[in-house]
Amino acid sequence: MDRFITLFASGLSLGAVYALVSLGFVLVFKSTRVLNLAMGEFLMIGTYIGYFLITYLGFHFIPAILIVAAIMGMLGLFVHYGVMRNLVGRPFFAIVLVTIGIAIIIRGVILVVAGPIERPRMKGLSAMPVDVLGAKVEVYNFIILGSALALVLGFYLFFRLSRLGLHMRAVAENLQASSAMGISPDRIYALAWFISLAMAGAGGVFFGHYTASIDLNLAAIGIRAAPAAIVGGLDSIEGAIVGGLVVGTLEQLGAGYFGADYRDVIPFLILTIMLYVKPAGLFGSPELVRI
């Protein structure tokens, strides 16, 4: 039972990171129909910048997250205006391949700048164990879960209540009608990229506290978050959160009980089952097929 609680708690915090990453996925997909397979690499940039800020420069956790999110958001604007804007209307596989190209560039640049060596995890958060129902759980798990959920909730309120959020929903629902009403889709796309990469950056800083070591294998989390997005539904914000938590928890429990080799397999097993049973996901809208 103790083991279960420990695994469950760390699974929830892993799931919170997944939720952030798959929220980034979903947000960009919902508004621009681009499946961003470079999400893990973007998260990795966030981790490395966060590592530099926290471990080398001694920043506190919260300002570090804000700085990383701001830098990554700017990078998102650059990705949109520099690359993605030229690709509107191309077949989707070409666009997916462009994100793969971006992922490869990021890997190369990080290898040159930071080198292939493994680094220890960040220590911006307290690792003091707390007693939960008799099991010891490190306190950073709760901080990660809490702050990730706060970020997600903040975004959700923005998306539902603010005027810009309304514009985003309008563009996602009907591109022509919304641009006829005076909303600039280009700026909404840029905003989606900004928020998506800022989320990835924040997720990267969280994950840097959670992971065993910081190296290029971090980027695999972007691929493993794809199942989270599918489980929730590729075009559903609520689904991304639920999917992230479900996949993260199941993965952590599975890896804990069966062995670390199962870690990569479990999310994709969930993905495969989900695609067979309900391809649209738990909260997603089913795709209409044109003959």
CB of 57 to another protein, least distance (A): 24
Q: Report the residue number, 175 or 280, with the smaller CB distance to another protein.
A: 280
The sign of the dihedral angle between the CA atoms of 142, 165, 243, 210 is: negative
Please list, in sequence order, all residues whose beta carbon lies within 8 angstroms of the beta carbon of residue 232, skipping any fewer than 6 positions away.
22, 26, 238, 239, 240, 241, 242, 243, 244, 281, 282, 283, 284
Q: Report the residue number, 114 or 143, with the smaller CB distance to another protein.
A: 114
Q: Report the residue number, 96 or 135, with the smaller CB distance to another protein.
A: 96
Residues in binding contact with another protein, number by CB under 8 A? 42
Q: Report the residue number, 100 or 164, with the smaller CB distance to another protein.
A: 100
CB of 126 to another protein, least distance (A): 34
- For residue 25, give the nearest of 150, 151, 195 by alpha carbon: 195
Q: Are 231 and 281 in contact (CB under 8 A)?
A: yes
CB of 115 to another protein, least distance (A): 9
Q: Using the rule CB under 8 A, which residue among 100, 143, 149, 253 binds another protein? A: 100
Interface segment toward another protein; rule CB under 8 A; list 88-96, 156-164, 195-203, 235-243: 88-96
CB of 287 to another protein, least distance (A): 8
Q: Report the residue number, 156 or 262, with the smaller CB distance to another protein.
A: 262
Please list, in sequence order, all residues whose beta carbon lies within 8 angstroms of the beta carbon of residue 140, skipping any fewer than 6 positions away.
13, 125, 126, 127, 209, 210
> Tokens 């794809």 identify what position?
226
- For residue 10, give the nearest of 195, 160, 206, 199 by alpha carbon: 206
Binders of another protein in range 33-72 (CB under 8 A): 35
Q: Whole-angstrom Cα distance, residue 3 to residue 32?
A: 42
Q: Whole-angstrom Cα distance, residue 10 to residue 22?
A: 18
| Nearest-5° Cα angle at 269, 155 to 100 | 60
The sign of the dihedral angle between the CA atoms of 2, 239, 194, 166 is: negative
Binders of another protein in range 101-120 (CB under 8 A): 101-109, 111-112
Q: Is 265 in the site for another protein (CB under 8 A)?
A: yes
CB of 100 to another protein, least distance (A): 5
Q: Residues, the chain, total?
A: 291
Q: Report the residue number, 135 or 275, with the smaller CB distance to another protein.
A: 275
Interface segment toward another protein; rule CB under 8 A; list 16-24, 131-139, 202-210, 258-266: 258-266
Q: Which residues bind another protein (CB under 8 A)?
A: 35, 83, 86-87, 90, 92-94, 96-98, 100-109, 111-112, 220, 223, 226-227, 230, 234, 261-262, 264-265, 268-269, 271-272, 275-276, 279, 289, 291
